[in-house]
Amino acid sequence: MPATIISGKEVSAEIRLELKGRADALKARGVTPGLGVVLVGEDPASVSYVTAKAKGSAEIGIFEETIRMPGTSTEEEILVTVDRLNRDPKFNGILVQLPLPKWVSSDKVINFISPEKDVDGFHPINVGKLLRGEPCPLPCTPYGVVQLLVRAGHSPEGKHVVICGRSNIVGKPLAALLMQKKKGANATVTVCHTGTKDLPYFTRQADILVAAMGAPKAITADMIREGCVVIDVGVNRVEDPSCPKGYRLVGDCDFEGMKEKAAAITPVPGGVGPMTVTMLLMNTVEAAERAAGLGS
């Protein structure tokens, strides 16, 4: 039977509708959720990510302000901006768009964001809380993966989830999220990487396979078992002269080969991608709820 396609666009739209309701409820109490975005320079990819975040915020009623700083900004100048946002109560969330200029330490800037306002979930305090199972802003892409699974009817509870990739922004935090003794988690987790000997041996054991490697079509149909649920986080550009831009986007999984074997699969684009911005909006609304004394 052909795999069900798990649409990140549809799940994302459903979550944004819920978020609008939560933002409206906050406004009724006199609180408008606020997001401050720091954009340094004019890298086209960064500008397009920031534009998507501003558009998403407007859609659900979050007050959003993008602070545009020149590409020549010093670390000190960026820290001063973050400090201003940390102190300003109209911002519940702060996001510094990465990458930063090469003379600026991203770690230093991220660590300077107030943990309560760290809506990317990258601050070491939040990473520690995540591992301990304490309430905190969850890193957006892993949070989006879990929401996709749960809302598409493939809760990871009791399942063997094999994650390919151990980065600090996807693989590691996803493993930490899924191993928690909580609803929507409670999975048995295996994390694979380039040091894994015989990757197919592990991927074939997966009830749920998450690919986050940045390696185009590295996971093929013969590497999964019949009925596996496949979440493809990878976004890779491959040359394609037949496309107007000269390239197209593919995931880390061979979608065409897998779609008759998997029970469900996310497409690229249109799978995990749309969820990442939506979860940032979710973290902002949740931070506003916490600041207003509501929620966890």
Ligand X SMILES: NC(=O)c1ccc[n+]([C@@H]2O[C@H](COP(=O)([O-])OP(=O)(O)OC[C@H]3O[C@@H](n4cnc5c(N)ncnc54)[C@H](OP(=O)(O)O)[C@@H]3O)[C@@H](O)[C@H]2O)c1
Among 162, 192, 279, 288, which residue sits at the site for ligand X (rule: CB under 6 A)?
192
Interaction between residue 106 and ligand X (CB under 6 A)? no
- 266: Cα separation from own chain's centroid: 14
Contacts of 251 (CB under 8 A, 6+ apart): 211, 216, 217, 232, 233, 234, 235, 236, 266, 267, 268, 271
- Residue (of 214, 215, 206, 218) closest to 261 by Cα position: 206
Stretch that binds ligand X, among 22-30, 71-79, 186-194, 254-262 (CB under 6 A): 186-194
Nearer to ligand X, 194 or 220 (CB): 194
What Rg value do the Cα atoms of the chain yield, rounded?
A: 19
Taking residues 27 to 46 in sequence order and writing x for each that binds ligand X by CB under 6 A, - otherwise, the string is --------------------
Interaction between residue 236 and ligand X (CB under 6 A)? yes
Report the DSSP beta bridge partners of residue 284: none
Stretch that binds ligand X, among 25-33, 152-160, 174-182, 233-241 (CB under 6 A): 233-241
Residue from 117, 118, 120, 252 carrying the catalytic annotation: 120
Residue 241 CB neighbour total at 10 angstroms: 6
Q: Please check whether residue 26 is in contact with residue 33, taking contact to mean a CB–CB distance below 8 angstroms.
A: yes
232 is a catalytic site residue: no
Interaction between residue 234 and ligand X (CB under 6 A)? yes
Residue from 53, 129, 172, 259 carrying the catalytic annotation: 53
Q: Please check whether residue 92 is in contact with residue 287, taking contact to mean a CB–CB distance below 8 angstroms.
A: yes
Taking residues 139 to 158 in sequence order and writing x for each that binds ligand X by CB under 6 A, - otherwise, the string is --x-----------------
Interaction between residue 199 and ligand X (CB under 6 A)? yes
N residues, the chain:
296
Among 96, 210, 212, 230, which residue sits at the site for ligand X (rule: CB under 6 A)?
212
* Burial of residue 203 (number of CB atoms within 10 Å: 0-12, 13-18, 19+): buried
Kindly report the backbone phi and psi dihedral angles of residue 62, in degrees, each rounded to the nearest multiple of 5, phi listed first.
-90, 135
Residue 206: C-alpha distances to residues 21, 180, 210, 230, 258 (Å): 37, 18, 9, 9, 14
245 is a catalytic site residue: no
Interaction between residue 283 and ligand X (CB under 6 A)? no
Interaction between residue 218 and ligand X (CB under 6 A)? yes
Interaction between residue 272 and ligand X (CB under 6 A)? yes
Nearer to ligand X, 57 or 266 (CB): 266
120 is a catalytic site residue: yes
CB of 125: closest distance to ligand X in angstroms?
21
Chain residues binding ligand X by CB under 6 A are: 141, 164-167, 169-171, 192-196, 199, 212-215, 218, 233-236, 272-273, 276
